[in-house]
Amino acid sequence: MRDDRRAFLKTAGALVVGFSTGAPAWAKVLPGAVAPAKTVDKEALDAWLAIGRDNRITVYSGKVDLGTGTRTALAQIVAEELDVAFDRVEMVMGDTGTTPDQWITGANLTIAQGGSELRRAAASARAALIQRAARRLGAAPADLVVDEGVVRVKGDPSRRASYGDLIERGFEIKVDPKVALKKPTDYRLVGRNIPRVDIPGKVTGEWTYVHDFRLPDMLHARVIRSPIFGARVVSVDDRAARGIGGFVQTVRKGDFLAVVARSEWAAVKASRAIRVQWGEGTRLPEKNTVFQTWRARPVAKTDSTQKAGDAPAALAQAARRVKASYEFSVQTHASIGPSCAVAHFKAGQLTVWSASQATHSMQTELAAITGLPAAAIRLVYLEGAGCYGRNGHEDATADAALIAQQIGKPVRVQWMREDETARAPKSPPRAMDFEGGLDAQGNVIAWNADFWIALNHIVAFKPLDFPLLAATELGQPKPGNWVGFLFQNAGMGYTVPNIRVETHHVAETFFRSSHLRSPGRIENSFANEGFMDELAHAAQADPAEFRLRNLKDARAEAVIRAAMKLAGWQSRVGINPAPGSGNIVRGRGISYTRYNNAITYVAAVAEVEVNRDSGAVRVTRLCIGHDCGQMINPDGVANQVQGGALQTVSRTLIEEVQWTPERVTSVDWTTYPIARFTDLPTVDIELIDRPGEPAWGVGEPTAVVIPGAIANAIFDATGARLRSVPFTPDKVKLALAAAAPAARA
């Protein structure tokens, strides 16, 4: 082992071994290695970048790659701005000891915010290195050029110095917030389909997920949680567990309960053998009336989210009024891999290898749980299974931390399927009411909407009040939800003269609630776009043309027209007159949203087949027009657009957490099914590139247009409005029955 590598592996607590041996050639930074702590002060340039004498660049990113390809895209941005070859750059992500806190990875901000911060750091670094080269080479900065990390004097190739020659002890300066950035017309890496650096390792088993990380003498734990919702521990009898070969100990602190064993299987068996008497739980509301319950809950505050003109007055004068209510069920992240974390507590220092999207804020959350100072806690990010928001990663991280602190030995906590599906946080329920008014010519003159959204409990813009399971079990009550900015996209995106949109923030949810991909926007856009379609129908207009007529934004029009063109959109008023075949009728629907009403534009056309007898809906094709500004890596964008679309077909048609008043009964893939290969459509995409425009996020926007497009396509096929996600066969049959008299009339 080389000396620098050995130094790299030395840590306060653990000597790290057990990393994968066949890491891809680029990956010099060993996965999970605990490097010496360094500055993470966001103002300091050394917080962001280090350059080796061998000219290798190490980038320290507080944003992490959640399996979306940002490890590659962010490296492209840095390599571009620094003028180095792409494969010179290595990313360290989400290690609280070496990376600056760039806020959680989410909210569609990794490229827009995270990438901009890294870009400024890289540009500052390049400028500083040019200054140094100018001094060293005795030339004016203007006479210097950079080529693949080598600074040369123009016209004199012999006078040159590489970044590695110039770096000395580091930068020791601040990031220049006003640094000149490279002109987009000079880009040679940004905008290119550079293959993702993680994929070769992921298709060969050489990649190290957090699940794959091992420490010497590591023990295995399983946590034991009540199947009865909210029940506390009355008594524990672990005699049977103790008889299991390889059993090490039970860990109990308050209501937190876990078993530790030498092997995973022994831990599983012990978790099944331990006898726990649970107390009474907290009763959950009846599931079949959940939306009534939700509307009746105390509201913490009501915000005016959008206001123009006088919507009530305009409604009173409308020639035609339309009213409808929409709902979106409780869903869950349902990650393919149950959450996992590895922790070690030694000499007062806690190190946790975690897949959390919020390692920096977890430092504070873990300090509260363990009683340790945040400075004694280090989180090292390793990828987990895709999380799409706050799934079980943070809870498992806390579980591992707590167990490690109790036993003083390295420990790996692997959640079981039921932990992830039933116990991880859920998206909150959602109800929305609309009334719209049209004038005699079919113009929308009034839009009146009320959204019942969950209150977001935020402290300093972080989820510090989130009730981690371990915190609750330790008797540390936390106020509530970290659900994201659910008001976003409640405001409608069309040019209507009189608008009143209010968001009513429901004070408490009944499940622990967290953000799930495109939080708030997906529910809001579903309802807004469904209702927009209802108005189009009332106005006897083609739904696509109706939208275009109410927009004054060329980029919005471009994505709509792109989706229409891909789909071969046939303009028509009223539902599809084609008779279909047998019980199967077909339709197409459109939906458009500008994410947050401020960034990425996306439109989708869905094509569906509806079985009028069974109520089964099949989405056969999705056509998507997408404009996220400057694309960093178009194929990476396409991957996210496809993924967002297909995942949301599943959410729209199938997904709904099931429960009884006593317990969550969605515990596995049969009780929380998701769409399979045989259920899914093909996705056709037109990506509109806007070189030189700001680069906006792509992980979340596509999801928001899918439910509306599908609902509107079902209407086109059948004349039935689906206003409650998911569109299960039962709900479709009910909607068909409700629509039948109207359609015949």
Partner 1 sequence: MARITLRVNGTTHSVEADPDTPLLYVLRDDLALNGPKFGCGLGQCGACTVHLEGNAVRSCSVPVSAVVGKKVTTLEGLGSTAKPHPLQQAFIDEQAVQCGYCINGMIMTSAALLKQNTNPSEEQIRAALAGNLCRCGTHQRITAAVRRAALAA
> Which residues are at the interface with ligand FES (CB under 6 A)?
67, 336, 386
Q: Exposure of 94 by Cβ count < 10 A (0-12 exposed, 13-18 middle, 19+ buried)?
A: buried
Please, what is the minimum distance in Å from the beta carbon of residue 583 to partner 1?
21
Question: What 3-state class would DSSP assign to 1?
Answer: coil
Nearer to ligand FES, 386 or 519 (CB): 386
Smallest CA-to-CA distance from 620 within 670, 579, 567 is with 567
The residue within the footprint of partner 1, chosen from 321, 417, 555, 621 (CB under 8 A), is 417
The residue within the footprint of partner 1, chosen from 158, 239, 678, 745 (CB under 8 A), is 678
Q: Which among 8-16, 179-187, 192-200, 450-458 is the span making contact with partner 1, rule CB under 8 A?
A: 192-200
User: Residue 313 has which token pair?
Assistant: 């007055």
Q: Which among 8-16, 89-97, 379-387, 720-728 is the span making contact with partner 1, rule CB under 8 A?
A: 379-387
Please, what is the minimum distance in Å from the beta carbon of residue 385 to partner 1?
4
Q: Considering all CA atoms of the chain, what is the largest pairwise distance in Å, rounded to the nearest integer?
A: 88
Nearer to ligand FES, 24 or 497 (CB): 24
Smallest CA-to-CA distance from 306 within 449, 519, 452, 483 is with 449
Counting contacts by CB under 8 A, is residue 201 touching partner 1? yes
Q: State residue 616 phi and psi, 5-degree precision.
A: -75, 135
Beta-carbon contacts of 59 under 8 Å, excluding residues fewer than 6 positions away, are 48, 49, 74, 75, 78, 89, 90, 91, 92, 118
Please, what is the minimum distance in Å from the beta carbon of residue 207 to partner 1?
7
Counting contacts by CB under 8 A, is residue 339 touching partner 1? no
Q: Which residues pair with 223 in a beta bridge?
A: 258
**Site track 642-661 with partner 1 (rule: CB under 8 A), x = hit:** xxxxxxx-x-----------
Asked if residues 730 and 617 have their Cβ atoms less than 8 Å apart, the reply is no
Give the separation between CA 371 and CA 665, rounded to whole angstroms.
34
Smallest CA-to-CA distance from 149 within 231, 50, 242, 79 is with 79
Smallest CA-to-CA distance from 698 within 654, 635, 652 is with 635
Nearer to ligand FES, 67 or 97 (CB): 67
User: Residue 379 has which token pair?
Assistant: 């989180």
Counting contacts by CB under 8 A, is residue 207 touching partner 1? yes
Q: State residue 516 phi and psi, 5-degree precision.
A: -125, 135
**Site track 242-281 with partner 1 (rule: CB under 8 A), x = hit:** ---xx----------------xxxx-x-------------
Counting contacts by CB under 8 A, is residue 389 touching partner 1? no
Counting contacts by CB under 8 A, is residue 353 touching partner 1? no
Q: Which among 63-71, 162-170, 490-498, 720-728 is the span making contact with partner 1, rule CB under 8 A?
A: 63-71
User: Residue 203 has which token pair?
Assistant: 């298709």
Q: State residue 183 phi and psi, 5-degree precision.
A: -75, 135
Counting contacts by CB under 8 A, is residue 203 touching partner 1? yes
Closest CB to ligand FES belongs to which residue? 336
Site residue total, partner 1 (CB under 8 A) = 69
Give the separation between CA 208 and CA 21, rounded to whole angstroms.
10
Q: State residue 456 phi and psi, 5-degree precision.
A: -95, 120
State which amino acid sits at residue 260.
V
Q: Which among 125-133, 397-405, 676-684, 717-725 is the span making contact with partner 1, rule CB under 8 A?
A: 676-684
Give the separation between CA 439 and CA 441, rounded to whole angstroms.
5
> Could you say which residues in the range 119-148 bind partner 1, by CB under 8 A?
none
Counting contacts by CB under 8 A, is residue 69 touching partner 1? yes
Residue 114's binding partner, choosing from ligand FES, partner 1, none, with beta-carbon cut-off 5 to 8 A by kind?
none
Counting contacts by CB under 8 A, is residue 24 touching partner 1? yes
Q: Which residues pair with 356 in a beta bridge?
A: none
Binding site for partner 1 (CB under 8 A): 18, 20, 22, 24-25, 66-69, 195-196, 198-209, 211-212, 214, 220, 245-246, 263-266, 268, 334-338, 383-386, 388, 414, 416-417, 635-636, 639-640, 642-648, 650, 668-670, 674, 676-678, 680, 682-683
